Amino acid sequence: MEKIKKIVHLAQTKTAKNTYLVFVGNSIAAFLGMIGMILVSRSLGPAGFGAFSVSFALLSFMAKLGDLGLNFAVVKNIAQSRIKGQKKRIQKIFITTFWSKAVLCFIFGLIGLLLARYISVDLLKSPLSLISNRQVFLLFFVFVFYIFLQVYFQAKKQFLDSCLIYVVANVFKVGFLSLIYFFLPSFKEIILIYLFTPFLSALLFFPKTKLRISFDFHKKELARLLKFSSWMAVSVIFAAVAENLNVFMISSWLSNFETGIYSAAEKFVIPIYLFTGSMASVLVSRSSEFLKLEQIKVFIKKIMVLQLLLLGLFALAVPLANLLPFILGSEYQSSVGILQILIIAHYFTAAITPLNSVFYPLNKSIIFAIDSILKVPLLFGLNQLFINQWRAKGAALSLVFVNLTVFIVNYLFLFYQLRKHGQKNISLG
């Protein structure tokens, strides 16, 4: 009974309620997003959807390069400034990050445009995606701005706004995709919708920040941001590669058709990404406020209970993969087995997400770099073996082993850090 009371109490905390809010909001947005993906996959077919998925993966990759870990530092620094009542510093953090991202987007976008043909045709073996990829390199900065605004709302604990901006973006997305699906079936540059609908939503919600865009730049704030984001930058680069490596390798080694089959399954684990993102947006903001080691230890016990609950939830989700052909069509039947494996792989991602929030007050962003650096060569090496043997399904199997390895490494690193902090009086925050 005592354990049941603790679980009930955990479910009733303010942090839990914020998580519910973010998860419900993101789930609504995800539902709309899935409708959009169904429209895209049905209109393009597996081969066309495979080419689209390459550009979509490239957009995700470029968005990470346009950030280089600054979002993580923004959450940490704004959360601490909010607790201390430093309103003017929040404006300084925002505008300094804004112009830093603008410079990064210009540099990486220019490089991308120069290498677009090599990347699309020679490296990824996907000439069908060349035009869309060029559009990504030219315009991905608008998507970076949208993500930045969402992160700002989360850092300020404006969780309702962080959800609504996502919901509105997907309402626009489904609206435009529906028009194209029914009235412009020959339209192929669908990536433009995935670029501009989030930006349109960001423009509508920007007044809620009560901030202003100016030409100010604060070197001291940049130095503070880089102090935390330096390791995060390494993490983000490798994470951007790892998150999209399966799609890139399948595209390069197999075909657009099999890329579409894998990507269709991958898109149906988006609700898991949203759930983990919901937890992260709430828990990182919460854990960043911890200034005592005892608070962290209590928090870890709650995390372990949450991980057990997640295990049961994911076990129930595996059989639901059989519904995929009824939603997308019989030509996507091969995606079922891939989706089931991906659900198992992403349990470890979901389970490690709340644990990773503890590293923010511990000032150990190096673990995120370790995770990402570990993922890329391990995933690449396993894909060399598994894709040749099991084709697209092999890429999903590789992800299971990689995510399990990261899960174990993070727990070992956490216990080492707790022991280190217990032996020495090390300050947090």
- Of 43, 45, 53, 40, whose CA–CA distance to 250 is shortest? 53
Place of tokens 């995935």: 194
Please tell me the predicted confidence (pLDDT) of residue 404: 93
- Of 266, 208, 283, 274, whose CA–CA distance to 29 is shortest? 274
Please tell me the predicted confidence (pLDDT) of residue 429: 47
Residues 6+ apart with CB under 8 A from 173: 32, 33, 36, 193, 194, 197, 198
- Of 305, 400, 392, whose CA–CA distance to 343 is shortest? 400
Please tell me the predicted confidence (pLDDT) of residue 370: 83
**203 located within any domain:** yes
- Of 377, 375, 426, whose CA–CA distance to 404 is shortest? 375
Rounded Cα–Cα distance for residues 197 and 175 (Å): 10
Please count the structural domains in the chain.
Answer: 1
**429 located within any domain:** no
Cβ atoms within 10 Å, residue 362: 21
Residues 6+ apart with CB under 8 A from 291: 361, 428, 429
**11 located within any domain:** yes
**10 located within any domain:** yes
Instruction: Write out the residue range of the structural domain in which residue 151 sits.
Output: 2-423
Please tell me the predicted confidence (pLDDT) of residue 426: 47
DSSP state of 156: T
Please tell me the predicted confidence (pLDDT) of residue 197: 93
Residues 6+ apart with CB under 8 A from 8: none
Write out the chain's pLDDT in tens, 429 residues.
Answer: 665 555 555 555 666 666 667 777 777 887 888 888 888 888 888 888 888 888 988 998 999 888 887 887 787 777 777 777 777 888 888 888 889 899 999 999 999 999 999 999 988 888 888 999 999 999 999 999 999 998 888 887 777 888 889 899 999 999 999 988 888 777 778 899 999 999 999 999 999 888 778 787 777 777 877 776 666 677 778 878 888 888 889 988 888 888 888 988 887 787 776 677 666 666 666 666 666 777 777 777 777 887 788 888 888 888 888 888 888 878 888 888 899 999 999 888 888 887 777 777 776 767 777 888 888 899 999 999 899 888 889 999 999 999 999 989 988 888 887 777 665 554 454
Q: Provide the terminal-to-terminal Cα distance of the chain, rounded to the nearest Å.
A: 35
Please tell me the predicted confidence (pLDDT) of residue 79: 74
Please tell me the predicted confidence (pLDDT) of residue 290: 65
**428 located within any domain:** no
Please tell me the predicted confidence (pLDDT) of residue 424: 54
**81 located within any domain:** yes
**Please, what's the b/e burial string for 184-219 (b: 16 or more CB within 10 A of its CB; e: otherwise)?**
eeeebebbebbbbbbbebbeebbebbeeeeeeeebe
Q: Please answer whether residues 48 and 186 qualify as being in contact, where contact means their C-beta atoms are separated by less than 8 angstroms.
A: no
Global pTM? Answer: 0.73
Q: Please answer whether residues 236 and 66 qualify as being in contact, where contact means their C-beta atoms are separated by less than 8 angstroms.
A: no
Please tell me the predicted confidence (pLDDT) of residue 9: 55
DSSP state of 426: -
